[in-house]
Structure 1
Amino acid sequence: MFSVFFTTADAGIRVEADSLEGIFSDSAKGMFFLMTEKEIINFEVERDLYVESHDMDFLLFQWLSELLYISETEKIIFGKFDILELEENSIKAKCFGERLSQSSVKRLIKAVTLHNLHISRHNNKWKVEIIFDL
């Protein structure tokens, strides 16, 4: 589950999930929703993705940054993420999505930021807030 919020020059998402896999999957879904406002994405394109980092917070940052890079360079938006492996320092996933037309982009996301990005657990729920530079 994610919710969107806006600041003066940025936008963000608040994500809450039952698992870390849910945090990674829902964060990516939230980022692509923020970009396109599409709730339904066809699964006509599949990509394998492997990302490494030095800790879980930075791994989430790297994961979203890599998805954003693929989206920009290959003109794809993703809507489904099968997390095959999630460790403290790495994630391996299958990502499913569709070709992106320029007209479907509502907001151009320039970058994922590290501002206040921290995954936490409260009352058996995982939570994170992610800010995007628009």
Structure 2
Amino acid sequence: MRQAADELVIATNGKGLVELTDAVVRWVREQGMTTGLLTMLCRHTSASLCIQENAAREVRGDILRWLDRMAPENGTYAHDDEGPDDMPAHLKAILTGVTLSIPVMNGKPALGTWQGIYLVEHRIAPHRRHLAMHLMGN
């Protein structure tokens, strides 16, 4: 059993879904493991991770609009230290989650045909997001 760990730093342009699939697949391949488990952690409370369709771009917009309805920026929140998108960003991260566990098979993440790995930026302003990756396998 082997292990590998690294950090992926992603610059975002503000609110949106940033596809990470190619970078993650490349990193897993570089580790030389054919079978294992990849764990990812978004090290922030106002951004998150998800696996979602990567074929139809409309899906991304629909997801963002749905999240905005679930945690609107015009809500009355006690926590607004960094502006009106602060608390809604935290709530959206709770809804979408900050960790992923993905089986590795045949040297790559075992994603479905239309699945991609995304960082979901919930803040309006651009940010640099840090993602911890850990791979354990053979």
TM-score of the superposed pair, with normalisation by structure 2: 0.34
The structure number with the bigger radius of gyration is: 2
Relative contact order, higher structure (CA 8 A, sep 6+): 2
TM-score of the superposed pair, with normalisation by structure 1: 0.34
